[in-house]
């Protein structure tokens, strides 16, 4: 597996987002299936595993800790604070005392003494970013975390945070169909030496082209509230997925591999973290790391699927108020 720099760490060019093993897309897999997926990723050379206190309200950290803690020296562990489950509800809380308490809870669930990369999952606008990052800097001084990340923030917020403590990574949604980081954050990361960790790099199942019927989503699937996944919008977007499949056939790869290869080609400081519950899909994703596709194919992919051709916003209006990212 090719490697890329992430703060002080060298990690696999493609990491694994662990969220959907416990959270967000309906019924999670069994422990045995999740364990098989995590261990297969480790065996295939994935060295960046990404979780959060929010995912499954602690269940995902428990899973990652139970399965991977015996192999702790083999990978870089990332988790997140500042957005957690409280009494069954999702709560954004960036107060220093909350972040420090959450870290202690995460360390226990993850069965480790230190978290390599600890993100502020969302900026709590009631708390100055400097205060939240200052609390994370205290955790670095105490040896409980090794580096600091931010999630879904603007370039301006990144710079404010970076003035308090170096920011190793910004995690934002980035893919062919979500291009918001290109407005400002991608360049700010390059300027500051910060890695852009791209979550949902396969557009929450859209880009592989196999997700056809959004009406069949589980009642608790978070995509039900996303404008791009309404039946009307999705029916229009499917033509883009079909055209991408034709480009992938021309390139001799799968649509998922083409999508990830496009993302990797946007900069050496970008690391995608696709998530899956399926070992075959994981194999497909990891195959993108070794692809050397013609520039023409990559350019045509970007011209095909972008903010001008995709129908629908990525978040509902209510959810959009919770993120700080620039929007087209």
Catalytic residues: 55
Cβ–Cβ contacts within 10 Å for residue 130, how many? 14
Are 274 and 25 a contacting pair, CB within 8 Å? no
Q: How far apart are CA 122 and CA 92, in angstroms?
A: 7
Q: Which residues contact 73 (CB under 8 A, 6 or more apart)?
A: none
Q: How far apart are CA 122 and CA 323, in angstroms?
A: 7
Are 117 and 147 a contacting pair, CB within 8 Å? yes
Q: How far apart are CA 314 and CA 298, in angstroms?
A: 23
Q: How far apart are CA 133 and CA 138, in angstroms?
A: 9
The total number of residues shown for the chain amounts to 328
Q: How far apart are CA 53 and CA 61, in angstroms?
A: 6
Are 288 and 235 a contacting pair, CB within 8 Å? no
Q: How far apart are CA 177 and CA 307, in angstroms?
A: 6
Radius of gyration, CA atoms only, the chain? 19
Q: How far apart are CA 246 and CA 248, in angstroms?
A: 5
| DSSP-assigned letters across all residues of 53-116 | STGGGGHHHHHHHHHHGGGGGGSEEEEEESEEEETTEEEE---HHHHHHHHHHHHHHHT-S-EE
């Amino acid at each position: 597996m090719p490697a890329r720099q992430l703060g002080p760490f060298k990690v696999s060019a493609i990491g694994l987002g662990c969220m959907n093993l416990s959270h967000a897309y309906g019924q999670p897999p069994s422990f045995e299936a999740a364990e098989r997926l995590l261990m297969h990723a480790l065996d295939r050379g994935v060295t960046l595993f990404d979780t959060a206190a929010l995912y499954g309200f602690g269940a995902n950290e428990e899973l990652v800790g139970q399965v991977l803690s015996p192999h702790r020296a083999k990978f870089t562990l990332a988790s997140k604070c500042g957005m957690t489950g409280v009494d069954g509800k999702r709560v954004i809380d960036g107060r220093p005392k909350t972040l420090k308490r959450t870290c202690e809870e995460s360390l226990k669930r993850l069965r480790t003494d230190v978290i390599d990369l600890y993100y502020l999952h969302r900026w709590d606008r009631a708390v100055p970013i400097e205060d939240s990052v200052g609390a994370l800097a205290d955790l670095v001084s105490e040896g409980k975390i090794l580096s600091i990340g931010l999630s879904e923030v603007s370039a301006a917020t990144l710079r404010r945070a970076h003035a308090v403590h170096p920011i190793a990574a910004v995690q934002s949604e980035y893919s062919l169909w979500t291009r918001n980081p290109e407005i400002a954050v991608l360049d700010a990361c390059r300027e500051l030496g910060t890695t852009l960790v791209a979550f949902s790099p396969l557009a929450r199942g859209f880009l592989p082209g196999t997700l056809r019927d959004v009406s069949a989503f589980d009642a608790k699937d978070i995509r039900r509230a996303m404008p791009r996944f309404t039946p009307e919008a999705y029916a229009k977007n499917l033509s883009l997925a079909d055209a991408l499949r034709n480009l992938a056939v021309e390139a001799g790869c799968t649509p998922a591999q083409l999508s990830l290869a496009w993302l990797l080609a946007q900069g050496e400081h970008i690391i995608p973290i696709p998530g899956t519950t399926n070992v075959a899909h994981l194999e497909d994703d990891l195959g993108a790391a070794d692809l050397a596709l013609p520039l023409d194919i990559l350019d045509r992919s970007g011209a095909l699927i972008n903010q001008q051709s995709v129908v629908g916003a990525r978040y509902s209006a209510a959810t959009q108020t919770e993120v700080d990212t620039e929007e087209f």
